[in-house]
Amino acid sequence: MRVLVLLGAPGAGKGTQAHVLARHFGLPRVATGDLFRAAARDGTPLGLAARGYMERGELVPDEITVGMLLERLDAPDAERGAILDGFPRTRAQAEALDRALADRGTAVDAALLVDVPTGELLRRLTGRWLCSSAGHTYHDTAYPPRVAGICDIDGSALIQRDDDRPEIVRARLEQQLGALADVVDHYRTAGILQAVDGRRPIAAVTNDLLDALEPIPYWRTSP
Ligand code: AMP
C-alpha cells in the first residue's frame, strides 16, 4: 500500500486538494475529521469519546485517533493506498503511522505541504460574513456581496460569527500552527517533505503537487 500525507493549516485548501488527488489516483481520501464526525453521528463509543474534544476545538487524544486511522487503512478500499487528510496532526501520530506502515512493509511516500503564510490564512478565515436573516454566506475576497455589508439575496445586514472574529481565529490558528510545524519537521527530517505555494489558484496548486510527485515512480502521472 502507498500512503500520501497532505499537510496544511486550516484555510490552506488542503481538503480541496486531497479530494482532487484522491480522484486523480483512484484512491480513498482518508480524513480523520470525517471519521470522527461519522462516529459521533452514529453514536459509537469512539464517536462519543471524541465528541467533547471536537466541540471544544481540541485535538482528540492520539491513542483514539491513531487506532481509528489504522482501522480505516485496513479496509479493503485502502488496500492499494490512501491520501491522508488531517492526519497526522502531532509528532506522536506521525511516529505511530511510521511504525504501523513499517509493520505492513511500507512507508509514507511523500508528505505534501500546501503552504500559505499566516497573514493570508487569517484573511481567508476571517473574511466570512453571514446575512442576519437567512445565513447566506459571503467572503470579503472570494465571494463578496454586490454592496458591502448587505445580502445580495434578501437585503439584510451581514454579520460576522463570533468564532470568525480575528482575535479568536488568531488564537486557534496559532495553536494549530505549532502542532503542524512539528509534523512538518518530522517529514522534513525524513527527507520526504515537499512544499507548494498554496496562494496560487486551486488548479495551479494541484499541478504543483502532481509535479512534486513526478520523481516517485508509483505516483508519476506522465507516461
Ligand atoms: P477537521 O475536520 O480535520 O477540521 O477535524 C475536526 C476535529 O476532529 C478536530 O478539531 C479534532 O477535534 C478532530 N480531529 C481530526 N483529525 C484529528 C487528528 N489527526 N488528531 C486529533 N484530532 C483530530
Q: Determine, yes or no, domain membership for 11.
A: yes
Give the nearest ligand 1 atom to 10 CA: 4
Instruction: State the Rg of the chain over Cα.
Output: 19
Q: Determine, yes or no, domain membership for 13.
A: yes
Q: Determine, yes or no, domain membership for 154.
A: no
H or E segment to which residue 47 belongs: helix 45-55
> What's the mean pLDDT in 135-160?
92
What single DSSP character describes residue 60? P
- Residue 86 Cβ inside 6 Å of ligand 1? The answer reads yes
pLDDT confidence tier of residue 137, bands split at 50, 70 and 90: confident
Give the closest residue (by CA) to ligand 1 atom 2.
Answer: 33
For residue 94, the domain's CATH number is: 3.40.50.300
Q: Is 99 a catalytic residue?
A: no
What is the pLDDT of the chain when averaged over all its residues?
Answer: 92
Q: Determine, yes or no, domain membership for 135.
A: no
Cα–Cα distance list, 40 to 33, 36, 49, 86, 106 (Å): 11, 6, 8, 17, 31
Q: Determine, yes or no, domain membership for 84.
A: yes
What pLDDT is recorded for position 161?
A: 80
Q: Determine, yes or no, domain membership for 21.
A: yes
Q: Is the pLDDT of residue 171 over 90?
A: no
> Where in the sequence is the domain holding 181, given as residue range(s)?
2-28+75-117+172-219
Q: Determine, yes or no, domain membership for 17.
A: yes
* Peptide bond preceding 88 in cis form (omega within 30 of 0): yes
- The three cell numbers of residue 130 are 453571514
Q: Determine, yes or no, domain membership for 6.
A: yes
Q: What is the number of structural domains in the chain?
A: 1
What pLDDT is recorded for position 7?
A: 98
CA distance 135 to 37: 23
- Residue 127 Cβ inside 6 Å of ligand 1? The answer reads no
Give the nearest ligand 1 atom to 85 CA: 3
The residue annotated as part of the active site, out of 2, 14, 29, 72, is 14
